[in-house]
């Protein structure tokens, strides 16, 4: 464009320049929107924490450990579903690493939690009574320890690496617990446990002390001895 030589042409010049600027601004906005869309990582909110992950269909996969418990949420939720905010269109979720529900004085249900996890830890949950609605698949360790009101293992994943069941003083039976343990099985200090009915049927110890059933005062010595002999 030629340089303006009078007022009329100057007006035309300014108008044309403004149009070019507006086009440039629109292009920049479109570019920024594209970059944002490409770089945005899907997230899921669980209590006060936000976790990154991937979306596959209507399923969300968290790519890190997930911690639920005291200090990780506000209020007094009764179930996991009360503190999980799934992205639009997502119906189920899983955790690619460990899922820990620990030091919790509020939760009474695992409903709304992940369907699959690497490790599953339930530790010092004062109001939880069962593992119903917990993950159905666990590739790693199942750790169920120091849950005073836990009276049932119903809902446990059935095939795990290691299974540690210690100090659950309302637990009377192991029914509903894992059937296959590919590593170690420890069952200790459960004051109300009166039978090993429901204990794992397959245990592949990976350490000398990989099978321990001790300090369960209501279990008979004969039942413990028979079980240990069976899984030598």
Q: What is the pTM of this model?
A: 0.82
Cα–Cα separations (whole angstroms), residue 105 to 64, 77, 142, 149: 24, 10, 20, 11
Q: What was the pLDDT predicted at 34?
A: 41
Cα 30 to Cα 33: distance, rounded to the nearest angstrom: 5
Tokens 């894992």 correspond to what residue? 178
Span 103-130, pLDDT tens digits: 999 999 999 999 999 999 999 999 999 9
Please tell me whether residues 87 and 189 are part of one structural domain: yes
Domain range holding 181?
Answer: 40-230
DSSP 8-state class, residue 3: P
Please tell me whether residues 101 and 6 are part of one structural domain: no
Please tell me whether residues 44 and 25 are part of one structural domain: no
Mean pLDDT of 194-198: 97
Span 32-91, pLDDT tens digits: 444 334 447 899 999 999 999 999 999 999 999 999 999 999 999 999 999 999 999 999
Please tell me whether residues 126 and 158 are part of one structural domain: yes
pLDDT at 27 over 60: no
Please tell me whether residues 46 and 141 are part of one structural domain: yes
Q: What was the pLDDT predicted at 206?
A: 64
pLDDT at 18 over 80: no
pLDDT at 214 over 50: yes
State how many domains the chain has.
Answer: 2
pLDDT at 218 over 60: yes
The per-residue pLDDT of the chain, averaged, comes to: 88
Q: What was the pLDDT predicted at 24?
A: 54
Please tell me whether residues 60 and 160 are part of one structural domain: yes
Please tell me whether residues 162 and 211 are part of one structural domain: yes
Mean pLDDT of 182-199: 97
Q: Structure tokens of 222?
A: 């004969």
pLDDT at 231 over 60: yes
Cα–Cα separations (whole angstroms), residue 35 to 44, 47, 68, 112: 21, 29, 33, 33
């Amino acid at each position: 464009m030629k340089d303006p030589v009078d007022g009329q042409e100057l007006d035309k010049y300014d108008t044309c320049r403004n149009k070019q600027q507006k086009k440039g601004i629109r292009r920049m906005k479109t570019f920024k929107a594209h970059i944002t869309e490409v770089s945005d990582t899907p997230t899921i909110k669980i209590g006060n924490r936000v976790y990154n992950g991937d979306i596959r269909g209507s399923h969300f996969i968290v790519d890190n450990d997930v911690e639920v418990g005291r200090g990780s949420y506000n209020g007094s939720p009764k179930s996991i579903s009360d503190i999980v905010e799934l992205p639009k269109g997502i119906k189920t979720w899983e955790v690619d690493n460990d899922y820990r529900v620990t030091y919790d004085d509020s939760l009474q249900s695992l409903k709304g939690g992940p369907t699959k996890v690497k490790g599953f830890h339930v530790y010092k949950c004062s109001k939880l009574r069962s593992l119903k609605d917990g993950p159905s698949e666990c590739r790693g360790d199942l750790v169920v320890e120091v849950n005073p009101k836990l009276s049932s293992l119903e809902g446990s994943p059935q095939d795990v690496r290691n299974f540690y069941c210690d100090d659950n003083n309302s637990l009377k039976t192991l029914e509903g617990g894992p059937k296959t343990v590919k590593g170690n099985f420890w069952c200790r200090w459960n004051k109300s446990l009166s039978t090993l009915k429901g204990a794992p049927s397959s245990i592949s110890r990976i350490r000398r002390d990989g099978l321990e059933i001790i300090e369960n005062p209501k279990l008979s010595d004969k039942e413990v001895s028979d079980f240990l002999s069976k899984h030598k």
